[in-house]
Amino acid sequence: MRGPIPGEVDVASLKEVAVGSTAEVAVVSGCDPMTERLLEMGITPGVRVKVVGRAPLGDPLELEVRGYRLSIRRNDAARVMVCAERAGALIGDAVVPR
């Protein structure tokens, strides 16, 4: 696993991103099929991911990436390291509230 990216601030995992916020993916750590699948699904370094919601029981998460919605479990989201962006950013035509 790689450490924080030099020059970036606020590196966290996708799991910690607040609902409604958007973040830019820095690294998807690990080398197993789950990491590969996340990458294949379009969660690649550099892409912006919005955490749309969380299931009422706390897990899994609902994400928006590359114009579609995807659900992954929080455990798996932990391997997606992101540089948090300011909330209120625009993704496509879906405006993040607040």
**Residues at the site binding other proteins, with contacts judged by CB under 8 A:** 2, 27-28, 31-42, 44-47, 52-60, 62, 64, 66-73, 76, 91-95
For residues 32 and 86, which CB has a smaller minimum distance to other proteins in the complex?
A: 32
CB of 61: closest distance to other proteins in angstroms?
A: 9
For residues 43 and 84, which CB has a smaller minimum distance to other proteins in the complex?
A: 43
Between CA 56 and CA 93, with CA 60 as vertex, the angle to 5 degrees is: 90
Q: Which residues contact 82 (CB under 8 A, 6 or more apart)?
A: 11, 12, 13, 14, 17, 23, 24, 25, 26, 49
CB of 86: closest distance to other proteins in angstroms?
A: 20
CB of 10: closest distance to other proteins in angstroms?
A: 20
**Other beta carbons less than 10 A from residue 78's beta carbon:** 15
DSSP for residue 1: -
